[in-house]
Amino acid sequence: MEPAALDVAIAAVNFTLAAIFAGILGVWVYFLTYMTKSFRLAPRMDDYHYYPLAPANGGSDSKPKVSVILPARNEEKYIARCLDTLLAQDYPNFEVIAINDNSTDRTGEIIQSYAVRDRRIVYVSTPAKPEGWAGKNWACHQGYKKASGEYLFFTDADTEHAPDVMSLAVGRMLSEGLDALTAIPRLLCNDFWTKVTLPALSTFLHTRFSPLRVNDPKHKTGYFFGSFFVITKKTYEAVGTHEGVRQELVEDGALGNKVKAAGFRMKMVRGEKHVEAIWARDFTTLWHGLRRLVIPLYHQDHTGAHLIAVAVFFIMFAPFLFLGYTVPAFFALAANSGGLGGLSATILLGVHVATILMLLATTAVQSKLGVMQSPAYALGSPLSGALIYLGFASAIVDARKKGAVSWRDRQYTVSEKQNFLH
């Protein structure tokens, strides 16, 4: 090929890549803009007029009874602390339905010891999980059948609660006439891989499940955080209880979606100062957590799942992967030969570097304000991008296999009937 023709061909490749990275840069600018707007405008758990508690004396001024639904499977490391923070609530009228979901460790023993000491705790042992049910969904349903409260407060065994969180939640629901309320928890990261992965993953998911969308009656998005949502029993029954989402692996999101779709009044608030939860406990649970997000989506929308995996590759991983081309091309063309190829290499390097800087800045903000950890973990973005993409891609490859999902020591085969967060 003639030098001039080769120069044009190289320039065409460089300009194409520059255009792609300009698009990725635009995505990260949008993420940062929307995310900071959401942090600024999203309501907080305690930013409403708080009124004093009335005694639970059975009179007209008493607080409605709250039934805490607490499923637990092999949670001996966390369950005691969760129960301690629930029993320390300043709300005067509640019970804790603690469900031992066929644990093989000391979880059931610990719950029973608490139930003996405090009559507010009701111990439930689940019968064997029927075919067609996810384990946690079955446990929650068993807890609901034992609940006597007007309000159902669902949480997880690895979650800790501030003493006033139940009062704040119920008070807000009463004052605003809400049917359901969920709180964004502070997500605790115990290991290096979760610390570098969660900021990028949270950023990617933030726009879809932002409080700005969930709280907008005109928007279809509905979502619950499994670590904290409160719903009236009437509303819960009206949307079919957990039986209506019995096969869902992301049951909290699916249930929140049903509440929103049915036209009930729901709100998402920032509760990081009041609720702390663990999203992944180690690399293994992180990996399966990533796969758990995608496999149900694949069965609901094959094309959509593939597009998400491709988008993750380009948005999160490609900017770092393609540095192996951009930097050498710049030094080979712009620094030595000039011409159209050199110009294109210079433009490509500028757009590429801007994209990476915006990616790092956005994940640093999410790490600081969302995950509440050092923004320095954003420097692990190349690792997190690769891990998230590989997790999503492997989930799509394995989606049709028996036992494709492993979660809480159980294997699940996901059916085509699952609808996962329409």
Taking only the tens place, the pLDDT of each residue in 133-154 is 888 999 999 999 999 999 999 9
Region 265-272: mean pLDDT is 95
pLDDT tens digit string along 35-61? Answer: 999 999 999 998 865 545 544 444 434
34 vs 422 pLDDT, higher one:
34
On the question of pLDDT at 386 being above 50, the answer is yes
- Range with the lowest mean pLDDT among 165-174, 193-202, 292-301, 389-398? 292-301
Q: Which residues neighbour 190 within 8 Å (Cβ) at sequence distance 6 or greater?
A: 278, 280, 281, 282
Q: Which of 293, 295, 287 is nearest to 193 (CA)?
A: 287
The per-residue pLDDT for 159 is 96
335 vs 357 pLDDT, higher one:
357
Q: Taking each helix axis from N to C terminus, what angle separates 339-365 and 3-41, rounded to the nearest 10 degrees?
A: 20
The per-residue pLDDT for 420 is 38
Measured in residues, the chain has a length of: 422
Going by pLDDT thresholds of 50, 70 and 90, the confidence category of residue 208 is: confident
The per-residue pLDDT for 411 is 54
- Where are the domains positioned within the chain? 3-37+300-408, 66-296
On the question of pLDDT at 418 being above 80, the answer is no
On the question of pLDDT at 303 being above 90, the answer is no
The per-residue pLDDT for 139 is 94
DSSP of 47-102, one letter per residue? -S---PPPP-SSSTTSPPPEEEEEEESS-TTTHHHHHHHHHT---SSEEEEEEE-S
Q: How far is the C-alpha of 364 from the C-alpha of 110, rounded, in Å?
A: 39
On the question of pLDDT at 384 being above 90, the answer is yes
Give the three-class secondary structure for 296. helix
Q: How far is the C-alpha of 331 from the C-alpha of 345, rounded, in Å?
A: 9
- Write out the H or E segment, with its range, that includes residue 167: helix 165-176
Q: Which residues neighbour 406 within 8 Å (Cβ) at sequence distance 6 or greater?
A: 288, 412
The count of other CB atoms within 10 Å of the CB of residue 218 is 5
Q: How far is the C-alpha of 210 from the C-alpha of 202, rounded, in Å?
A: 10
Instruction: Say what the pTM is.
Output: 0.87
CATH superfamily of 66-296: Spore Coat Polysaccharide Biosynthesis Protein SpsA; Chain A (3.90.550.10)
